[in-house]
Chains A and B, each alone.
Chain A
Amino acid sequence: MTTSRRTFLGMVGGGALAAGLAACGSSGPSSTPGSTTGAAAGSGTTYWFLTGQPQQAIREAQVKRFNDANPNTKIKTTEFQNDAFKAKIKTAIGAGQGPTLIWGWGGGGLKAYVEAGQVEDLTDWFNGQTDLKNSIFPSAFTAATVNGKLYAVPGETVTPIVLFYDKRSFEKIGAQPPQSWGDIMDLVPKFNEKGIAPFSLGGQSRWTNMMWLEFLFDRIGGSEVFQNIYDGKKDGWSDPSALKALDEMQKLIKANGFIKGFSSITADSNADQALLYTGKAAMMLHGAWTYGNMKSSGKDFVTGGHLGYMNFPPVDGGKGDPSDTVGNPGQYMSISSKASSGDKDTAKKFIANNTLDDATVDAWVKSGNIPVVKSAKDKLSSITDKNDSEWLNFVYDTAANAKNFAQSWDQALSPTQAETLLDNIAKLFQLSISPQQFADNMNAVIGQ
């Protein structure tokens, strides 16, 4: 027993080292899981995309149609869950093992690929695709353009952030949906008195809180406030309108505007939606993509006509255009610059013929989504379900009539800025930093 202790502790020390190494090894360049699985570059045209219905089935059908029509240049697909995809595609592209077709959200993430020379400049080719070009919403191109050049083609759906509300809760307190920010602040104590939380919020996800700031910045200071930040203008975050928006935000939090415990609720579990459709909260600011789940999980909430929705109301005295909206103007497909020219041609052909073809547009509309093409409007008349039809028309109008459709901040900014932003937003909502501290922290990383 005597020497064993020493050997034992020696090995424990070794174990500690191994544990430390196991933890840090994952940040080293040697961990490139993308190199072993999936269809990697150089083995024909490849396409990675996200799982999750109804989107997954629509993407699979697109590839199937392409492969049936082009048996000699088939596209190989690999499917990933959202978070796994985000981590894996970055590592894979960095290691030169990425897919031919790079699916993404455009904006800051795309810019990082462009700066690393990983994606193909599609400007000239796409200018030749007049029909496709003219069919897509013009607002969808901003997030695909870097330094005046097009590096991605918009596809899939347009999903603005909207203010959802439960009509039953408003009946209970005998009030009307808010027409302004002042109305919102007035409604807060009325709902709290009745034991209903004014707003549902999945605060642990952080980007959920961010949607509030996106609207407040826009409604108070207009779209140029964030544009300045995006352009890397010095001290862009301490614009007076920005500080006022941050201050208003904290006023709402202090007035108990959000459900108790919001900072431990995640959006991934859809608990925030559940709070709305179970009547525990009266309103919720969330993406248009939540409609489908509220319809399927919320019993008669949607089918019984209890769900109401509107664009975010104006702030009294604010400079922003009340038609402005924020969200995802589309999803994007880029082509890897490392792919062979044959694979690039196949990828271009797929984008041109199969991503926004008639069958795809039909499928998107049937699933309760508005595809990024103008022709979506014509399809809406064929929807028979009254609730779905009203909803889709609302989403279409919100997106099409928006004077400015801003991209979600965490997608628009560089990954470095986005992470700092989300961190500081979480602290702002915890009331652990003041608006001025928030602005100072964010100004420090502006343009990075």
Chain B
Amino acid sequence: MTVTAPPVVPATGRNVSSGAGGSSVGRSGPVAWMVLPALVLFVVFGVVPLVGVVVLSFTQWDGLGPIHANGLANWRTVLSDPQTWHSVLVTFEIMILSWAVQTPMSLLLGTFLAGRQRYRAFLAVLYFIPLLLSSAAIAITYKALLDPNFGLGAGLHIDFLTQDWLGKSNLAIAVVIFIVSWQFIPFHSLIYQGGVRQIPTTMYEAASIDGAGRIRQFFSITVPQLKYTIITSSTLMVVGSLTFFDLIFVLTAGGPGDATRVLALDMYKRGFMSNQMGPASVIASIIVLLGLALALLLRRLGGSTTASQQEGA
């Protein structure tokens, strides 16, 4: 998620001029070849493996011997396996709950950080720290802190913290959602901060004259004006959560039992632990389809009109 995000954000800024200027048609010639390097990389590292995976999903292969075609057998096995549906359920559970935790928090933090005071800039730097750490490092750290026998709770003798955090199904999912939120709220706050700063101050001034308080202003101006920012940030959250792997793999390895076994983890286990590349490829294809469907759905929610936010408000 963090990897795909940075190149996306600056791209927006660059495209503003081409849309507003209306001269994009005339520039399409030279612009086309500028896409080429990215396109080549995308085909080699994106499309080719994708085709490979789809082909593999119709074969039987243990990763060692020859590859045999076996038609739809893998798809039938995987789709009738309750484990798959359990993983889909867990994936969506983590996706929806982490979205529900992250969005309001990031929205509030982003709005707060959009202010121009010095101390807010300082706080913004502090808030940003979790995003700088690698998921694996975060997972190892939290695992150590949450250890019921040698962790924070046992060390400081705080009974509330001495729980079997990663050993009970519901607690383990809650911990995963907490850590994911802790890690990614800074990123989404940054998006909202940028969004809030784009809102013309005249709207707030007008609202003040009309007697609207801060809370009223937040709900009647800030939130509606941020509609598209919310959709952007939600898309990143939702699609990104489909590929959570490193954090969960290190933290719980899918456990306890299969309580936190998300689709990405299920794919890894089938492919590289059970030596069943065919079913693993089916899961991989399902992840791609789900990701595409969700991204398109969220685009739809944004509406297809090109009307500006300010007109809509």
Judge if B141 is at the interface, Cβ distance under 8 Å. Answer: no
The answer to whether A1 touches B198, judged by C-beta atoms less than 8 angstroms apart, is: yes
> Whole-angstrom distance between the alpha carbons of A87 and B232 in the complex?
37
Q: Is A379 an interface residue (CB 8 A)?
A: no
Q: Tell me whether A23 and B64 are in contact (CB under 8 A).
A: no
User: Which residues on the A side are within 8 Å of B288 (C-beta)?
Assistant: 17, 20-21, 24
Distance in angstroms between the alpha carbons of A426 and B56 in the assembled complex: 30
Residues of B with C-beta under 8 A to A322: none
Complex contact A27–B271 (CB within 8 A): yes
Residue A251 CB within 8 A of the other chain? no
**Is B281 engaged at the interface, CB distance under 8 Å to the other chain?**
yes
Closest to A21 in B: B46
Measured CB to CB, the nearest residue on chain A to B294 is A16
- The verdict on B247 contacting chain A, using a C-beta distance below 8 Å, is no
Chain A residue total in the interface (Cβ 8 A): 66
Tell me whether B130 is interfacial, beta carbon within 8 Å. Answer: no
Nearest A-chain residue to B4, judged by Cβ: A15
- Chain A 1-32 per-residue mask, 1 if CB under 8 angstroms from chain B, else 0: 11111111111110111111111111111110
Across-interface contacts of B20 in A (CB, < 8 A): 1-3
B256 touching A264 by the CB < 8 A rule?
A: yes
* B277 lies within 8 A of A204 (CB): no
CB of A261 within 8 A of CB of B64, answer: no
B interface, over-half SS: helix
Interface membership of chain A positions 341-379, coded 1 if the CB is closer than 8 angstroms to chain B and 0 otherwise: 000000000000000000000000000000000000000
Tell me if B287 and A1 are in contact (CB < 8 A).
no
Contact segment of B104-112, B207-215, B305-313: B305-313
In the complex formed, the residue of B with least CB distance to A197 is B149
The count of chain B contact residues (Cβ–Cβ below 8 Å) is 90
Q: By the criterion CB–CB under 8 Å, are B255 and A204 in contact? A: yes
B267 interface contact, C-beta 8 A: yes
A311 CA / B258 CA spacing, docked (Å): 32
Which residues of chain B come closer than 8 Å to A275, judged between CB atoms?
Answer: 149
- CA gap between A426 and B298 in the complex, in Å: 37
Taking CB atoms and an 8 Å cut-off, the chain B residues in 27-75 that contact chain A are 42, 45-50, 52-53, 56, 61-67
Residues of B within 8 A of A23 (CB): 242-243, 245, 264, 267, 284, 287
The answer to whether A19 and B65 touch (CB under 8 A), given A25-B45, A27-B267, is no
Contacts of B302 in A (CB 8 A): 5, 9
Which A residues are CB-close (under 8 A) to B269? Answer: 419, 423
A93 pairs with B49, CB closer than 8 A = no
Contact code string B116-160 (vs A, CB < 8 Å = 1, else 0): 000000000000000000000000000100111110000000000
Is the CB of A271 closer than 8 A to any CB of chain B? yes
Q: How far is the CA of A15 from the CA of B1 in the complex (A)?
A: 9
- Could you say which of A46-54, A56-64, A112-120, A326-334 contacts chain B? A112-120
Selected contact of B12 from candidates A4, A115, A260, CB within 8 Å: A4
B205 at the interface (CB under 8 A from A): no
B5, B235, B264: which contacts A9 (Cβ < 8 A)? B235
**Chain A residues with Cβ under 8 A from B56's Cβ?**
27-29
Residues of the A chain whose Cβ atoms lie less than 8 Å from the Cβ of B12: 4, 7-8
* Distance from B47 Cβ to chain A, minimum over Cβ atoms (Å): 8
CA of A12 to CA of B237, assembled, Å: 11
Q: How far is the CB of B57 from chain A (nearest CB, A)?
A: 10
Least distance between A198 CB and chain B CB atoms (Å): 14
A306 part of interface (Cβ distance < 8 Å): no
Q: In the assembled complex, how far is the CB of residue A262 from the closest CB belonging to chain B, in whole angstroms?
A: 7
Contact across chains for B306 and A6 when beta carbons are under 8 A apart: yes
By a CB distance below 8 angstroms, the chain A residues around B291 are 16-17, 19-20
Chain A residues within an 8 Å CB radius of B47 = 21
Pair A9/B285 contact, Cβ less than 8 Å: no
The 7 A-B residue pairs with the shortest CB-CB distance in the complex, in nearest-first order: A3-B19, A24-B284, A264-B166, A261-B148, A116-B65, A25-B49, A15-B4
Q: Identify 13 new A-B residue pairs, CB closer than 8 A, beyond the known A15-B4, A31-B49, A280-B149.
A: A13-B299, A15-B7, A16-B4, A20-B243, A20-B288, A21-B288, A23-B287, A27-B53, A112-B64, A117-B65, A203-B256, A262-B167, A264-B166
Instruction: Return 27 A-B CB contacts under 8 Å, by A number.
Output: A1-B198, A2-B307, A4-B15, A5-B228, A8-B15, A13-B296, A18-B46, A20-B243, A20-B287, A21-B47, A22-B3, A23-B264, A24-B53, A24-B284, A24-B285, A25-B49, A25-B50, A117-B65, A204-B166, A261-B149, A261-B167, A264-B147, A264-B148, A264-B165, A264-B256, A419-B270, A419-B273
